[in-house]
C-alpha cells in the first residue's frame, strides 16, 4: 500500500494515514499498536467494509483482482477477535459458508494446523460432536482454534487474525503461527497485543495513533524501535532470559 489514508464518515481526524509498505505473497505480517492505534480500522479496510480515501490496499495480483465486494470477501477471510461458533456439530461449524465438497481428511488437516486435533479427537463423535449455542461447551481457546480451523478449510489467499489467538497459551499459539505459513500458501495478517506472538512474523507493522511507527522484523524492531521496545518490555522483565 502506498500512502494510505482513511477517515471514518463524519470523523474529524483520519484513523489511518501515511501507511506505506509492501508485502510478499504468502508472507506473515504482524500488526501491533496501543489502543486506538488503528488496528481494527486496518482490518475493516482489509475486509472491504470501508474504502480508503487516499491510496489503496494493493493486496491482490492482477490475476486475482476482485471485481465485486463479494469476490473481495471471498479472497480475504477475517477471523474476528470473538470466536463465532453456532449450534450444530464441529463439522457443521467448520463447513459454514462453504459449498464445495470437503473430505474428512481435509477437515482433520485444518484442525491439525489450527492445533485443534487433540481435543476434537477426544470428543465423543469427533467431527460430529455436538456444539451448543455460541460453542459454550468448549473453552475460549478451543473456540478460537475451531474458528481458525474454519478459516483454514475455506483456504482464502488472505487470512486476517484479529487478535484471535488471545486465549491460547504461548506454546500452542506459536505452533499454530508456525503451521499456517509452513502448511498453507495464504498470506497471514495477524493483529496482536503481544510482541511474543509476532516473533516469527516476516514483518511487523507498528501503529501509533493511526500512523506507521515501524515496519520490520521482531528482532529489528526490538533493537531499534522505541515504541516496540516499550510494548515488549511492558510484557517482559528487562534482562529476562526469555525476553527475546
Ligand atoms: N466507526 C468509527 N467511527 C469513527 N471513528 C472511529 C470508528 N471506529 C474507530 N474510530 C476511531 O479510529 C481510531 C482507531 O480505532 P481502532 O478501533 O482502529 O483502534 P485499535 O487499534 O483497534 O484499538 P484497540 O486496541 O482498542 O482495539 C480511534 O481514534 C477511534 O476512536
Ligand atoms: Mg481494535
Atom of ligand 1 nearest to the CA of 11: 4
Query: Is 37's C-beta closer than 6 angstroms to any atom of ligand 1?
Result: yes
Q: How far is the CA of 127 from the centre of ligand 1 (A)?
A: 38
Percent of the chain with pLDDT over 90: 64
In 3D, which of 226, 117, 112 has the Cα closest to residue 234?
226
Q: Provide the pLDDT for residue 54.
A: 86
Per-residue pLDDT, averaged over 194-220, amounts to 94
Cβ atoms of residues 172 and 115 within 8 Å: yes
Q: Provide the pLDDT for residue 216.
A: 95
Q: Does residue 37 or residue 25 have the better pLDDT?
A: 37
Dihedral Cα 167, 235, 219, 181, nearest 10 deg: 0
Q: How far is the CA of 39 from the centre of ligand 1 (A)?
A: 8
Q: Provide the pLDDT for residue 239.
A: 60
Mean pLDDT of the chain: 90
Atom of ligand 1 nearest to the CA of 33: 21
Please give, one letter per residue, the 3-state secondary structure of 118-147: HHHHHCCCHHHCEECHHHCCCCHHHHHHHH
- Mutational test site, ligand 1, from 31, 32, 39, 81, max ligand atoms within 8 Å of CB: 39
Atom 6, ligand 1: which residue's CA is nearest? 8
Q: How many whole angstroms separate alpha carbon 76 and alpha carbon 16? A: 20
Highest mean pLDDT (candidates 3-12, 69-78, 150-159):
150-159
The pLDDT tens digits of the residues spanning 76-123 come to 999 988 888 999 999 999 999 888 899 999 999 999 999 999 999 999
The pLDDT tens digits of the residues spanning 52-77 come to 888 877 777 766 778 888 888 888 99
- Mutational test site, ligand 1, from 39, 41, 231, max ligand atoms within 8 Å of CB: 41
pTM comes to 0.90
Per-residue pLDDT, averaged over 208-212, amounts to 94
Q: Provide the pLDDT for residue 187.
A: 92
- Mutational test site, ligand 1, from 6, 15, 163, max ligand atoms within 8 Å of CB: 15
Pairing assessment for the beta strands 187-191 and 28-33 based on DSSP bridges: parallel
Position 25 confidence tier, pLDDT thresholds 50, 70, 90: confident
Q: How many whole angstroms separate alpha carbon 194 and alpha carbon 63? A: 35
Q: How far is the CA of 207 from the centre of ligand 1 (A)?
A: 12
Position 2 confidence tier, pLDDT thresholds 50, 70, 90: confident
Q: Provide the pLDDT for residue 62.
A: 66
pLDDT at 242 over 70: no
Q: How many whole angstroms separate alpha carbon 29 and alpha carbon 206? A: 11
pLDDT at 153 over 90: yes
In 3D, which of 77, 235, 240, 223 has the Cα closest to residue 170?
235
Which value, in Å, is the radius of gyration of the alpha carbons in the chain? 18
The cell for 134 is 455460541
In 3D, which of 197, 188, 181, 176 has the Cα closest to residue 117?
176
Q: Provide the pLDDT for residue 240.
A: 61
Q: How many whole angstroms separate alpha carbon 2 and alpha carbon 4? A: 5
Query: Is 38's C-beta closer than 6 angstroms to any atom of ligand 1?
Result: yes
Cα separation of the two ends of the chain: 30
Q: Provide the pLDDT for residue 24.
A: 83
Neighbours of ion ligand 2 (CB under 5 A): 39-40
Amino acid at each position: 500500500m502506498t500512502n494510505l489514508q482513511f477517515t471514518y464518515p463524519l470523523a474529524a481526524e483520519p484513523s489511518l494515514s501515511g501507511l506505506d509498505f509492501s508485502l510478499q505473497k504468502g508472507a506473515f505480517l504482524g500488526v501491533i499498536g496501543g489502543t486506538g492505534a488503528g488496528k481494527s480500522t486496518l482490518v475493516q479496510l482489509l475486509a472491504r467494509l470501508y474504502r480508503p480515501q487516499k491510496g489503496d490496499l494493493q493486496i491482490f495480483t492482477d490475476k486475482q483482482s476482485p471485481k465485486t465486494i463479494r469476490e473481495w470477501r471471498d479472497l480475504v477471510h477475517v477471523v474476528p477477535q470473538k470466536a463465532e461458533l453456532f449450534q450444530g456439530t464441529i463439522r457443521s461449524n467448520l463447513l459454514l459458508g462453504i459449498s464445495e465438497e470437503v473430505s474428512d481428511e481435509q477437515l482433520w488437516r485444518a484442525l491439525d494446523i489450527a492445533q485443534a486435533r487433540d481435543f476434537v479427537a477426544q470428543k465423543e463423535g469427533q467431527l460430529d460432536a455436538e456444539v451448543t449455542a455460541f460453542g459454550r461447551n468448549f473453552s475460549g481457546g478451543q473456540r478460537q482454534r475451531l474458528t481458525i480451523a474454519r478459516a483454514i478449510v475455506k483456504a482464502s489467499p488472505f487470512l486476517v487474525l484479529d487478535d484471535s489467538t488471545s486465549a491460547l497459551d504461548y506454546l500452542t499459539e506459536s505452533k499454530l503461527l508456525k503451521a499456517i505459513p509452513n502448511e498453507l500458501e495464504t498470506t497471514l495478517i495477524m493483529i496482536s497485543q503481544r510482541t511474543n506472538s509476532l516473533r516469527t512474523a516476516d514483518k511487523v507493522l507498528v501503529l501509533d495513533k493511526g500512523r506507521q511507527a515501524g515496519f520490520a522484523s521482531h528482532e529489528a524492531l526490538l533493537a531499534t524501535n522505541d515504541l516496540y521496545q516499550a510494548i515488549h518490555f511492558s510484557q517482559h522483565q528487562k534482562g529476562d532470559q526469555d525476553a527475546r
